[in-house]
Amino acid sequence: MGILLGFVPFIIFALLSGISVSLALWLAFAAAFAIGIRDFLHAKMIRMLDITCLMLFAMLALYTGFIQPSLPVQAVRMIADTVLLLLALVSMARKMPFTEQYMRDAMPEGFWDTPQFSRASYLLSAVWAAAFLVMGVADGLTTFAHHLSFSLDVAIGLAALALAIGFTVRYPSRLLAAQQA
């Protein structure tokens, strides 16, 4: 599903942030830029997730590079998780779940106006919001309360990410199969 491509910058950041925050942010920004350009050239639009990742990683890379280079990796991860959580929540509150743009690519056009399609868009956005919340809380506990080790924080984040990805990959195909039955 195309949404997974939209999360590549975030995944790059999550995987590389333990090595170098600066490198992880700049590579995530580069990936967000490349994906945004690719999607714009292909579909003549930039999705909410693409814009959010582009702006998020550009601002974080510049901030940690020039203003506060000593910002702990967990704090940077918490900021990224919080911004993505806000994207999911605000998009649902505005009645345009950010996952809908990707689901339109994966589902037949005749399915777009059905209640099942709308529910699926909200459910996928809610699953991602839950993953970002879990990741942000783990990052916050590591940064401010020091209740978690960094490796446990990363493991929790990767587990939440894996669960959200797994659900995102499986759910739309099950929905389509049920619709066609």
What is the rounded end-to-end Cα distance, in angstroms, of the chain?
Answer: 21
Is pLDDT above 70 for 1? Answer: no
Residue 38 backbone class (left: φ over 0; alpha: ψ -120 to 50; beta: rest): alpha
Q: Say whether 7 sits in a helix, a strand or coil.
A: coil
Q: According to the model, what pLDDT value does residue 181 have? A: 61
Q: According to the model, what pLDDT value does residue 39 have? A: 83
CB of 153 closer than 8 Å to CB of 139: yes
Mean pLDDT of the chain: 90
pLDDT, tens digit, 9 for 90 and up, residues 47-61:
999 999 999 999 999
